[in-house]
């Protein structure tokens, strides 16, 4: 099944020095941007900025776990991807729940802060996306990194769109709608990662059974 990468072909497992260097760079980028964007989200009162900041935090954790399990047997890499997929799903649920809560408050966020930080975050994420582009079709562990980076870039564009909407309407609804869309993206990516990880776990079990039979 090409859509989720769940095929029987051997996929890139991240075991190159170049890929490890790329991961260290994007870990630094995402860690710094989480702090910047979460602070800006609190100052601006923007749920979309906070949701995007959490995406940066999730990426930082994802990339760190990816580094830890590189070179391990497939079963451990698949288990790590499963944990990352589940964590992304929980993050999506939290963002969705908090968005619904803030929909009842409807404080108007600061569009100028949202827009400027959104542009900064988009620049940071485009660097990460370009660095990781060659490795978007790896195993579940490697692919989870690509999906999170893609989410970030899409999320930044959405934040900029939300800032424009808030400025044009003087309403919090564009911000809340974008935060809800980002939560849905988190949940969809979580499903993709978990699906591929489960497939790779089944494959590792089959390989182990064949090895035991021999």
Give the CATH number for residue 174: 1.20.1510
Measured distance CA(51)–CA(67) in Å, rounded = 25
In a domain, 7, yes or no: no
Q: Comparing 187 with 111, which gets the higher pLDDT?
A: 187
% of the chain exceeding 70 in pLDDT: 86
Torsion angle defined by CA atoms of residues 75, 199, 1 and 135, in that order, rounded to the nearest 10 degrees? -30
- Residue 169 is predicted with a pLDDT of 80
- Residue 103 is predicted with a pLDDT of 65
Average pLDDT of the residues in 37-46: 85
Band (107; pLDDT cuts 50, 70, 90): low
In a domain, 8, yes or no: no
In a domain, 52, yes or no: yes
DSSP label of 8: S
Measured distance CA(46)–CA(108) in Å, rounded = 8
Torsion angle defined by CA atoms of residues 98, 116, 158 and 82, in that order, rounded to the nearest 10 degrees? -60
Location of structure tokens 């993709």 = 192
- Residue 106 is predicted with a pLDDT of 59
- Residue 196 is predicted with a pLDDT of 79
CB 47 within 8 A of CB 7: no
Q: Which residues contact 179 (CB under 8 A, 6 or more apart)?
A: 47, 48, 50, 51, 95, 98, 99, 102, 162
DSSP label of 12: -
Average pLDDT score, the chain: 78
- Whether this prediction's pTM lies above 0.75 is answered by no
**Angstrom distances, CA of residue 119 to CA of 89, 90, 95:** 26, 27, 21
* Residue numbers of the domain that contains 166: 14-213
Q: Is a pLDDT exceeding 60 seen at residue 10?
A: no
Q: Is a pLDDT exceeding 90 seen at residue 32?
A: yes
- Residue 3 is predicted with a pLDDT of 35
Measured distance CA(36)–CA(43) in Å, rounded = 11
In a domain, 4, yes or no: no
Average pLDDT of the residues in 141-154: 76
**In 10 A of CB 194, how many CB atoms?**
21
Please count the structural domains in the chain: 1
Q: Comparing 93 with 210, which gets the higher pLDDT?
A: 93
In a domain, 131, yes or no: yes
Measured distance CA(96)–CA(183) in Å, rounded = 5
Band (54; pLDDT cuts 50, 70, 90): confident
Measured distance CA(134)–CA(6) in Å, rounded = 19
Q: Is a pLDDT exceeding 90 seen at residue 118?
A: no
In a domain, 90, yes or no: yes
Strand segments (E) across the chain: none
Q: Is a pLDDT exceeding 90 seen at residue 61?
A: no
Band (11; pLDDT cuts 50, 70, 90): low
- Residue 29 is predicted with a pLDDT of 92
Summarised one tens digit per residue, pLDDT across range 164-201 is 888 888 777 777 787 788 788 778 878 888 887 888 78
């Amino acid at each position: 099944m090409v859509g989720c990468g769940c095929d029987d072909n051997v996929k890139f497992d991240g075991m190159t020095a170049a890929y490890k260097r790329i991961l260290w760079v994007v870990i630094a980028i995402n860690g710094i941007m989480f702090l910047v964007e979460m602070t800006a989200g609190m100052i601006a009162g923007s749920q979309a900025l906070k949701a995007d900041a959490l995406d940066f935090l999730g990426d930082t954790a994802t990339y760190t776990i990816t580094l830890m399990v590189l070179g391990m047997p497939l079963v451990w890499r698949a288990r790590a991807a499963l944990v990352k997929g589940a964590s992304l799903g929980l993050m999506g649920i939290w963002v969705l729940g908090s968005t619904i809560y803030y929909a009842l408050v409807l404080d108007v966020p600061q569009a100028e802060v949202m827009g400027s930080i959104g542009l900064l975050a988009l620049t940071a994420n485009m660097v990460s996306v370009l660095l990781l582009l060659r490795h978007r079709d790896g195993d579940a562990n490697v692919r989870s990194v690509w999906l999170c980076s893609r989410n970030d870039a899409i999320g930044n564009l959405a934040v900029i769109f939300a800032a424009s909407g808030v400025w044009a309407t003087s309403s919090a609804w564009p911000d809340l709608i974008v935060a809800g869309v980002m939560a849905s993206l988190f949940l969809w990516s979580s499903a993709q990662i978990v699906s591929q990880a489960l497939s790779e776990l089944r494959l590792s079990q089959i390989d182990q059974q064949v090895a035991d039979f021999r």
